[in-house]
């Protein structure tokens, strides 16, 4: 039987690739403690990056005081962890029926519901205390609003009911820039609302690229994600539309930045070009998992990059870089 299997594999290149894939075990992620796993720590760094981006957009200037930065990021981390736990509690039954999530801590029984709920409440209270006492009440209120938006608006209300769930529910992921701006200035300026809008229009293309990869899992449990309801090609067209919206809104940063807008505008161009290139690759091969995964991964890097550019553009060194200096460098 082994000899026959090897012969068939040699004669069929597809079988050879499948045999190689089967023989090579997939890369395993590190096993996290159950309490940390349900806090979804992999999602937190991007939320903190957009919080820093919001800080950089405050008219008071960047950098903010070290204590303000540290306490804001700590409060944001606690709130994000609480939101992740509450999301896992709400979707425990759903996670247990999906292949991708069936081994999570709650559906697998590695963590009790009461313990998870107690941890979520503790993290929420700690976040509110840290931000309200160490930063300001506006930052604390906005952080709590982001938590509630994710758990109640997106997870409970929109996700199981509409294929546009992430378009509206994306507000939860767009609130951290407002928290950052409020932490520095105590109010919300035009720049903070611009970054809020940018994250809102960035979210659908980012999430739908992932939904394409997971559409069979979503279909199996009746979650009406766009690829499940409308199909792959409609989803790819929608991704392209939102990618162009993202590029357009990103360029408005040149105008809304209190300073450093020109430097930001020049540096953001290759990020936008790469985002549109990934969308073109997906449009040419909409069923290709590599193209779907490529766009998803780049979209994450893209938002990290935008926030880094904001920090660079608002740095004291960049403020001294005037139009003439930039033109000289380009020449």
Asked if residue 22 belongs to a domain, the reply is: no
Q: What mean pLDDT is predicted for residues 239-254?
A: 97
Q: What is the mean pLDDT of residues 155-159?
A: 94
| Token representation of residue 316 | 């004291």
**Got the DSSP string for 181-229?**
HHHHHSS--HHHHHHHHHHHHHHHHHHHHHHHHTHHHHHHTT---HHHH
Confidence of residue 1 (pLDDT cuts 50, 70, 90): very low
Confidence of residue 280 (pLDDT cuts 50, 70, 90): very high
Q: What is the mean pLDDT of residues 201-205?
A: 97
In a domain, 81, yes or no: yes
pLDDT in tens, 17-45: 343 333 334 455 667 888 888 999 999 99
Residue at 17 is within a domain:
no
- Among the listed residues 105, 120, 92, 101, the one whose alpha carbon sits nearest the alpha carbon of residue 37: 105
Mean pLDDT computed over every residue of the chain:
87
DSSP-assigned letter for residue 58: S
In a domain, 27, yes or no: no
Among candidate residues 166, 162, 161, 195, the one with its CA nearest the CA of residue 178:
195
pLDDT at 72 over 70: yes
For the chain, what percent of residues have pLDDT higher than 70?
Answer: 85
Q: Is residue 12 part of a domain?
A: no
The pLDDT assigned to 73 comes to 97
What's the whole-model pTM score? 0.86
Q: How many CB atoms lie within 10 A of CB 300?
A: 15
In a domain, 5, yes or no: no
Cα–Cα distances (Å) from 49 to 72, 81, 162, in that order, read 12, 15, 29
Average pLDDT over residues 181-185: 93
pLDDT at 23: 37
pLDDT for 35:
86
Q: Give the pLDDT score at 63.
A: 67
CATH of the domain at 44: 1.10.600
* Residue 16: inside a domain: no
Closest Cα partner for 223 from 203, 207, 234? 207
Number of CB atoms found within 10 A of residue 51's CB:
28
The 10s digit of each residue's pLDDT in 284-299 is 999 999 999 999 999 9
pLDDT at position 323 is: 47
Query: Given this model, what pLDDT does residue 123 score?
Result: 97
Domains identified in the chain, total number: 1
Q: What angle do CA 125, 126, 129 make, to 5 degrees?
A: 85
Q: Which of 316, 308, 321, 322 is nearest to 52 (CA)?
A: 308
The answer, yes or no, to whether residue 47 has pLDDT greater than 90, is: yes
Establish if 156 belongs to a structural domain: yes
- How many Å apart are CA 96 and CA 103, to the nearest integer? 7
Contact 76, 49 (CB under 8 A): no
Residue 14 has pLDDT above 60, yes or no: no
* CA atoms of 213 and 62, how far apart (whole Å): 39
Which tokens sit at 110? 């590695």
The pLDDT tens digits of the residues spanning 76-117 come to 999 999 999 999 999 898 888 887 888 888 888 888 999 999
Domain interval for residue 233: 32-330
Asked if 275 and 247 count as a contact pair (C-beta separation under 8 A), the reply is yes
Is residue 143's pLDDT more than 50?
yes
Measured distance CA(55)–CA(324) in Å, rounded? 27
């Amino acid at each position: 039987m082994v000899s026959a299997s090897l012969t068939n594999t040699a004669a069929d290149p597809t079988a050879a690739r499948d045999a190689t894939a089967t023989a090579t075990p997939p890369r395993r992620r590190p096993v996290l403690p159950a309490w940390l796993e349900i806090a979804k720590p992999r999602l937190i760094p991007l939320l903190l990056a957009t919080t820093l981006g919001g800080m950089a957009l405050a008219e008071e200037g960047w950098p903010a005081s070290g204590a303000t930065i540290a306490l804001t990021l700590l409060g944001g981390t606690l709130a994000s962890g609480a939101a992740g736990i509450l999301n896992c509690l709400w979707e425990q039954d759903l996670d247990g029926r999906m292949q991708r999530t069936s081994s999570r801590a709650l559906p697998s029984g590695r963590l009790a519901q009461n313990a998870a709920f107690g941890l979520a409440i503790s993290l929420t209270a700690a976040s509110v205390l840290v931000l309200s006492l160490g930063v300001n009440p506006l930052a604390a209120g906005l952080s709590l609003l982001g938590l509630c938006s994710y758990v109640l608006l997106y997870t409970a209300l929109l996700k199981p009911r509409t294929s546009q769930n992430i378009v509206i529910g994306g507000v939860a992921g767009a609130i951290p820039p407002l928290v950052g701006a409020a932490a520095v200035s105590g109010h919300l300026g035009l720049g903070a609302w611009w970054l809020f809008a940018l994250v809102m229009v960035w979210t659908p293309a980012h999430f739908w690229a992932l939904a394409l990869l997971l559409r069979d899992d979503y279909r199996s449990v009746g979650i009406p994600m766009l690829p499940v309801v409308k199909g792959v090609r409609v989803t790819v067209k929608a991704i392209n539309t939102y990618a162009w919206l993202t590029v357009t809104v990103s360029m408005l940063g040149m105008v809304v930045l209190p300073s450093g807008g020109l430097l930001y505008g020049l540096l953001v161009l290759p990020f936008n070009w790469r985002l549109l290139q990934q969308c073109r690759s997906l449009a040419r091969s909409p069923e290709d998992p590599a193209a779907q995964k490529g766009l998803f991964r780049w979209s994450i890097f893209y938002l990290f990059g935008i926030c880094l550019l904001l920090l660079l553009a608002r740095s004291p060194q960049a403020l001294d870089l005037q139009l003439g200096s930039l033109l000289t460098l380009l020449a």
